Structure 1
Amino acid sequence: MIRTEAVLVYVFRDHHVLLGRHLRGIGKGRWNGLGGKCAVKESAKEAAVRECTEEVGIKVKLNQPLGRILYHHPRIGDWRVTIFRTEEFVGQPRGGDEMMPRWFSVEQLPYREMWDNNRAWLHHVIRHHHFEGEVWLDAQDHLVRHTIMQVPRLSDLGGEA
């Protein structure tokens, strides 16, 4: 059973991707895409737009999601994360009390300061490929195993984008 629905958004500009260093909560100190939990009765797309505005002050335009990953974590339970990519946004990213944004070249991503599992699937986002899979993490947030597959389109997993 899925405990938490969440989203990640990767904003691209001129071969760079906007990442945010989390200043608190899950992922504190790590670079990641923008995003967070979906509110009750909120679609993944609505949550993604809201999170980008709340975290770094930009308004994004999103198409359909590129990926979905089911995360299994012994401490925080099961999360289904819907992943978006966009090049369309308005505003200048700014930091706040949740996150400090920074643009990174896609060739020089800070993988050592990101979640371990990002190496398994972030290349799909960079290349505009659809993907699905599952990730198992241990209690210290380290990758135990994963099954990530490129797919022609996302399957309907019961969640509306």
Structure 2
Amino acid sequence: MPLTEMCLCYLVVRGPDGTISDVLLGRKKTGFGTGYIVGLGGRLEPGETARAATVREVMEESSVAVAESDLSEHATVVFRFPARPDWDCRLTVFVSDRWQREPQESDEIAPQWYSADALPLDLMWDDARYWFHRVLNGEQFDGDIVFNDDCRTVRQATLTPRHPTKG
């Protein structure tokens, strides 16, 4: 079974020193992951790039407009659910510190700003504790996350740093 292609975007506010001070997350109200605090994103539509899907999903879920050119790719993470292989997916993770409009609640997400120093990891998918801070710290990597049969806790997490290309 092929992996479902997904995208995720963390909208961030940077402090005067350039470090991330706040992150826009949201409580998932419907669908896959209901009840969890998540970043904005979702499934790619047929023929859609991860960047285009991210722009669309951010707008649909929060009424925030972000340009493809303002998305910085930080990771690609493959999630495997041995007990539910139909949940297996590949997630492209972006960060942006530029957007237009204030976040608004949608049918799917109740957005809220969180301090980067007080992230709600206990309310997020279990995998977030393995890699979320790395994204916020500016790291770039590829990951492979395998969930236990409960489909809630992580059995194995492998993160491989990307080496920046020169040019």
TM-score for both structures, normalised by structure 1: 0.90
Distance 1:107 1:42, change over 3 A: same
Distance 1:51 1:5 in 2: 13
Distance 1:64 1:2 in 2: 26
Deviates more, 1:95-104 or 1:59-68: 59-68
| SS in structure 2 at match of 1:21 | strand
- 1:153 is displaced (CA, Å) by 4.1
Runs of 4+ in 1 over 4 A off after TM superposition: none
Query: Matches of residues 18-33 of structure 1 in structure 2 within 5 Å?
Result: 18-33=24-39
Deviations 1:101-144 (A, max 9, x none): 00000010000000001011111211111111100113432111
Distance 1:6 1:107 in 2: 27
Deviations 1:60-100 (A, max 9, x none): 13334110001101323320100000001000101011000
Query: Matches of residues 113-132 of structure 1 in structure 2 within 5 Å?
Result: 113-132=123-142
Instruction: Determine which structure has more spread, i.e. the larger CA radius of gyration.
Output: 2
User: Over the residues paired in the alignment, what is the CA RMSD in angstroms?
Assistant: 1.5
Deviates more, 1:70-79 or 1:25-34: 70-79
| SS in structure 1 at match of 2:73 | coil
Deviates more, 1:145-154 or 1:128-137: 145-154
Identity of aligned residues (%): 32
Distance 2:51 2:65 in 1: 12
Partner of 2:47: 41
Partner of 2:63: 57
| SS in structure 1 at match of 2:77 | strand
TM-score for both structures, normalised by structure 2: 0.87
* Structure 2: segments with no counterpart, 5+ residues: 15-20
Partner of 2:92: 82
